Amino acid sequence: MALIVQKFGGTSVGDPERIKNVARRVLNNKSTDDKTVVVLSAMSGETNRLTKFALSMQKIPDRREMDVLLSSGEQVTVSLFAMAMKALGQDCISFLGDQIKIYTDCSHTNARIQAIDTEKIMDSLNDNKIVVVAGFQGVDENGDITTLGRGGSDTTAVALAAILEADACEIFTDVEGIYTTDPNVCNKARKIERISYDEMLELASLGAKVLDIRSVAFAKQYNVPLHVRSTFSEAEGTWVIKEETAMEGKAVSGVTYNKNEARITISGVPDQPGIATKVFTPISNAGIVVDMIIQNQDTGNGMTDMTFTVLRSDYKRTMKLLESVVESTQATGGVQGAETITKISIVGVGMRNHSGIASKMFSVLANEGVNIFMISTSEIKVSCIIDEKYTELAIRALHDAFELEKDTPAIEENLV
Amino acid sequence: MALIVQKFGGTSVGDPERIKNVARRVLNNKSTDDKTVVVLSAMSGETNRLTKFALSMQKIPDRREMDVLLSSGEQVTVSLFAMAMKALGQDCISFLGDQIKIYTDCSHTNARIQAIDTEKIMDSLNDNKIVVVAGFQGVDENGDITTLGRGGSDTTAVALAAILEADACEIFTDVEGIYTTDPNVCNKARKIERISYDEMLELASLGAKVLDIRSVAFAKQYNVPLHVRSTFSEAEGTWVIKEETAMEGKAVSGVTYNKNEARITISGVPDQPGIATKVFTPISNAGIVVDMIIQNQDTGNGMTDMTFTVLRSDYKRTMKLLESVVESTQATGGVQGAETITKISIVGVGMRNHSGIASKMFSVLANEGVNIFMISTSEIKVSCIIDEKYTELAIRALHDAFELEKDTPAIEENLV
């Protein structure tokens, strides 16, 4: 007997026919004594449709009401799924976020799960029902509906898998798994069989879109084995699991990129204590998230430059905010910015045991004539900011240089 | 200060632009210290869309899941309405059925309201918010979503008005009010200014579609003044209220008709005790509702005929069921039926004090050459089953004969 949580996203349940197919697939893969919990997103396109309605009502839609509105999407898919399952002769029951007390904080549109009451779920599973849960939604202490923000259904699935101590959490998606890089950019991209939580966290935060970072962090915290696989094929996908020795055989596991950032430099600011606060407090007060920050060393004249990146959608607002910062800091060099940049990153737990990985990345880029604007590193990743136009070139060069198209024997052995 | 409950149906909130219009209208008509509760249905067409989805999943959709599915419709309209109201500068908060504990029994798709917790509503009203409540939906003791069936949003509105002791419950619809008869059939039809609960109950149960009978019964029980009026005009509509002396000045208040029934006769059954049970038990066991029943007197040969009406949609099923009844009762005359009949009715509390109303109706129909198949009467109505093809002719003749196009002075005086 196994307890499995399976999550299907919006394209997998995009219309009634697809919902039926998902029901068939879930039932076919279920052994008699398996316990299955299914988590569903809204039909693809539904969230956009509802958001458009909301924006036609109010310029900045009220966030409490937005959650009431958006949570209707999963309500539709889970009830239809339960009907489809019953039509196949398998008993099934749907639960919404507030029905199984997926308690969250009160941060409407971006809430965090705090607790889940498993009683109703376990009772239904013990009655041999398949349980289908509305992803993305919860309820706060006031009884108000909340939603979990981007990737919220993944988070629901992982949280349920954690609290139910599931044997696995399967994330069904429209791709076959996690790839060494974007297959649309590099035709040598290879599906990864096993990857560690930490690598996946870096990949997710650096731009890989298959899994949301929050659900990966949750899975790591509770040691939930994640299986990312395709709705439309029976092939094994990618397992995201606890780090294994074999994983360190390879220095680099994947190359990823992110075109959603913009770069800003404020030049000629006095190099004195508290200057960073003066620059970044107004930005953070405006709710703008800063990613990379580099402060150049004082070049001798008591002045310094600061360069940082923000989301491209926050670029114009940040540039505007900096006008007063230039005044208050008396920055002599003013502000420069560029919207057309890419953050390109290599990720791998093996980096810890392999030296020279960063310098190899720099030389690969240099050999292709790609200038590096900013560098940031962690224990298991190196990121470089480059001009956007070199993105594809850089990815293919790095993928080749680190031989990512080849699987390592050490990992293969571990797969059985 | 007044506390008003206003209900807007599906066509009034049929798209985002209409929802905005409704918000504007509610706000314009609200005095500063009025307390306003708005009840909304789903967008027109939405229930059909969702029902179609459900039927593509399961031949007879599971009723618990159907309620989860359908209740998403009002969730969309109330949240959008709250946003629209906030955009107009008026604070507003939405509540779903389970958020204000509209407790019902467990009869999914046709539940009855048992209790409502008014605390959240009153708190919000006292905070000067407009409260918008999802109509049609409730929650049972298990925390499962229920829906109230046909006309459910009217019932929600009346129930809220009753428990909040509202000054009035306004039902906004796409017609101007209750008419003496269907204006599409008779161009002399006149909007009624005031009508009693009992008359409205008869009209609703006899085929008038503006108000659902359940909400009228609820309003009568709790003495909630109902105001049926148009969403698209500022004109006064029809008040449905407690009976007043003035209302008895007129014998007949309205003529209504119902084409949804079919007539069935079983002939030559032995006229002995228990025979009616033998005929009707199999029918009621099949969940078929019988409306009118007439048993002719024994004509001397120890045999009798029974004629009754059922919903036209149940006609074929009933005829099939009667095959075995004919055998078990040894009915010598077999079964005859007709699907093309109309029940035409006159209604008025004044009938109690006016004699000869029924016989006048019969002679009016006779003068037009309309044959009457069945008759049924109550204290304030007379119904006749006639051939469907005479429907319009009969309505116009009765409307003329009882001078329904004229308002009576007695009622006029009472209107001030």
> Inter-chain contact A69–B53, Cβ cutoff 8 Å?
no
Confidence band of B294 (pLDDT split at 50, 70, 90): confident
Report d(CA B376, CA B363) in Å as an integer: 16
> Nearest residue of B to residue A69 by CA position?
B76
pLDDT band at A251 (very low <50, low <70, confident <90, very high): confident
Give A163 to chain B, closest Cα distance, Å.
22
Give the pLDDT confidence of A153-166 residue by residue, as tens digits: 999 999 999 999 99
Chain A hits for B95, CB-CB cut-off 8 Å, are: none
Distance of CA A216 to the CA centre of its chain: 8
> Please, what sign has the CA dihedral across residues B64, B69, B74, B79?
positive
Q: What is the pLDDT of residue A1?
A: 78
CA distance B23 to chain A (A): 10
Inform me whether the pLDDT recorded for A413 exceeds 60: no
Asked if the model's pLDDT at residue B413 lies above 50, the reply is no
* pLDDT higher at A133 or B32: A133
Average per-residue pLDDT for chain B: 91
The pLDDT, as a whole number, for residue A412 is 37
Interval A202-247: pLDDT, tens: 888 776 677 888 899 999 999 999 999 999 888 999 999 998 877 7
- Whether domain B243-416 has CATH 3.30.2130.10: the reply is yes
Residue A345: φ, ψ to 5°: -135, 145
The string of pLDDT tens digits covering residues B47-93 is 999 999 999 999 999 999 999 999 999 999 999 999 999 999 999 99
What is the reported pTM?
Answer: 0.84
Average pLDDT, chain A: 91
Q: Domain A3-243 sits in which CATH superfamily? A: Acetylglutamate kinase-like (3.40.1160.10)
Q: What is the pLDDT of residue A332?
A: 86
* pLDDT surpassing 60 at residue B267: yes
Q: What does the pLDDT average to over A185-197? A: 93
Local confidence band at B209 (pLDDT 50, 70, 90 cut-offs): confident
Q: Tell me, what's the pLDDT at B409? A: 39
Residues of chain B with CATH 3.30.2130.10: 243-416
Q: Do A75 and B75 touch (CB under 8 A)?
A: yes
- pLDDT tens figures, B124-144: 999 999 999 999 999 999 999
Task: Establish how many alpha carbons lie within 13 A of residue A324's alpha carbon, considering only the half-sphere containing its beta carbon.
Answer: 9
Q: Give yes or no for residue B410 having a pLDDT over 50.
A: no
User: Which phi and psi angles does A387 have, rounded to 5°?
Assistant: -65, 135
Query: Which range scores top for mean pLDDT: A233-247, A345-359, A383-397?
Result: A383-397
Instruction: Answer whether A58 sits within 8 Å of B96, measured CB to CB.
Output: no
> How far apart, in Å, are the Cα atoms of B98 and each of B68, B139, B146, B298, B383?
12, 5, 9, 56, 41
- Least CA distance to A72: which residue of chain B? B72
Share of chain A above pLDDT 70, in %: 97
Q: How confident is the model at residue A271 (pLDDT cuts 50, 70, 90)?
A: confident
Q: What are the backbone angles phi and psi of residue B379, rounded to the nearest 5°?
A: -60, -35
**How far is residue A177's CA from residue A195's CA, in Å, rounded to a whole number?**
11
Mean pLDDT throughout A268-288? 86
pLDDT at A414 over 60: no
**What number is the average pLDDT over the span A28-56?**
94
Instruction: For residue range B344-382, list pLDDT tens digits in order.
Output: 999 998 888 888 899 999 999 999 999 998 998 888 999
What CATH class has B3-174? alpha beta
Distance from CA of B82 to the nearest CA of A (A): 7
pLDDT, mean of residues A395-412: 79
CB atoms within 10 A of CB B385: 24
For residue A196, pLDDT beyond 70: yes
State ipTM. Answer: 0.83
Q: CA nearest B151: which of B201, B225, B77? A: B201
The average pLDDT across A127-150 equals 96
Per-residue pLDDT at B291 exceeds 80: yes
Whether pLDDT at B416 is above 60: no
In chain B, % of residues over pLDDT 90: 69
pLDDT of A415: 35
Nearest CA in chain A to B88: A58
